[in-house]
Structure 1
Amino acid sequence: MVSLTVSFQYNKLRGRIKEMCATNEEFAKRMGLSSAVISLKLNNKSQWTQSEIYKAVEVLQIESADVPAYFFTPEV
Structure 2
Amino acid sequence: MSNDYSKLAGKIVEKYGTQYNFAQAMGLSERSISLKMNNRVPWKDFEMAKASELLDINVNQLHEYFFTPKVHVCEQIA
- Give the TM-score normalised by structure 1: 0.92
Aligned residue number for residue 33 of structure 1: 28
For structure 2, list consecutive stretches of 5 or more residues without a partner in the other structure: 72-78
Q: Alignment RMSD, CA only?
A: 0.5
Task: Quote the offset at 1:54 in angstroms.
Answer: 0.3
1:50 aligns with 2:52: no
Aligned residue number for residue 73 of structure 1: 68
Q: Deviations over 1:23-74 (max 9, x none)?
A: 0000000000000000000000000000000000011010111100000000
**3-state SS, counterpart of residue 4 of structure 2:** coil
Identity among equivalent pairs (%) = 46
1:13 aligns with 2:33: no
**Rg bigger for which structure?**
2
4+ residue runs over 6 A deviation: none
Task: Quote the offset at 1:75 in angstroms.
Answer: 0.7
For structure 1, list consecutive stretches of 5 or more residues without a partner in the other structure: 1-5
Aligned length: 71
Out of 28, 49, 54, the residue aligned to residue 59 of structure 1 is: 54
- Give the TM-score normalised by structure 2: 0.89
